[in-house]
Amino acid sequence: MNPGLNMTYLILGGHVEVQKYRYLYFMILFTAYILIICCNTSIIYLIVIHKSLHEPMYIFIAALLLNSLFFSTNIYPKLLADFLSEKQIISYQVCLFQVFIFYSLSCSEFLLLSAMAYDRYVSICKPLQYPTIMRKITVVFLLVLAWLLPACQVAVVIILNINNKLCNFTLKGIFCNNSLIQLYCVMSRALSVYGAFVLLNTGLFPMLFIIFTYTKIILTVYRSCKKKAAQTCLPHLFVLINYSCLITYDMIIARLESDFSKTARFLMTLQIITYNPLFNPIIYGLKMKEISKHLQRLLCQSKLN
């Protein structure tokens, strides 16, 4: 690559023997992407068409799955194209956009899970006040906040980095994430502090809020023996634990200049972009009885047709 090209394009250096296994990688990830689209859209479709599912809990689930679709679409098309390309490169401007979408939607996932936790808390701990508290305007406000707040905060970081000078042009990943900061010649301390603030504001604080609400729910269930009500919380907790572990890897381990092997990084990165988008609709489709009931009917109708 010539110097002019280096100033514009970055090399995605996280691929492992892509020349040898390009078609295998492509088929596996293409299959995963199709499944992600089919599984998520199926659950969203069921929630939209059935009035019995037009409740805050199911609306938040639909929003979470829609978030997964946007998240996957930000990564998979470019990744699939890279597998079939001779050179795995990306323009710096597109890379910044990919980082913006990736972290905006990642933070939105935590806020959506927080909204779901709050909905379950009100439903179980304050059942008589539930219709008053969880009104339509409240649900809309929480959804707008979950998508708009992270987007605005992450956008500030991206805008401030647009003209930042690059001293390296090879990313250690297979798509653009926070490893991009290792390419800058100088990283502003103020920007680092602001980045930590964004992480706390849209990641740690929502997680602490979720832990607090579920602690209250567990105590309430223990006192009143509302075991059936508590079962609706299990999928949310399962999703939260899995996603927290994967994002923790992305935010901490991926930034360290360590001897963490390239193959291990590659496999962990694939889990980040595959696990939740693929398994969230399966978890909610199987564990949420109302969704599961409508899903079984839909599958039976498909077989009859």
Query: Alpha-carbon distance 75 to 36, whole Å?
Result: 12
- Cite the DSSP H helix spans in 225-288: 227-231, 234-251, 262-287
Handedness of CA 142, 143, 148, 154 (dihedral sign): positive
What is the β-pairing status of strands 89-91 and 170-171? Answer: unpaired
What does the pLDDT read at residue 4? Answer: 44
Query: Alpha-carbon distance 84 to 281, whole Å?
Result: 29
Query: Alpha-carbon distance 299 to 305, whole Å?
Result: 10
Query: Alpha-carbon distance 275 to 250, whole Å?
Result: 14
Domains, the chain, ranges and CATH? 3-103+166-186+214-304 (1.20.1070.10)
Q: What are phi and psi of 184, to 5 degrees?
A: -80, 145
Please give the structure tokens belonging to residue 146.
Answer: 């979950």
Q: What are phi and psi of 87, to 5 degrees?
A: -125, 130
Please give the structure tokens belonging to residue 234.
Answer: 């299990």
Query: Alpha-carbon distance 271 to 246, whole Å?
Result: 8
Nearest to 69 by CA among 98, 104, 96, 36: 36
* Average confidence (pLDDT) per 10 residues, the chain, 305 residues: 57 88 94 94 91 90 94 95 92 92 91 91 89 93 94 90 84 86 80 79 83 84 65 71 74 60 82 87 79 76 60
What does the pLDDT read at residue 81? Answer: 94
Q: Supply the pTM of this predicted model.
A: 0.88
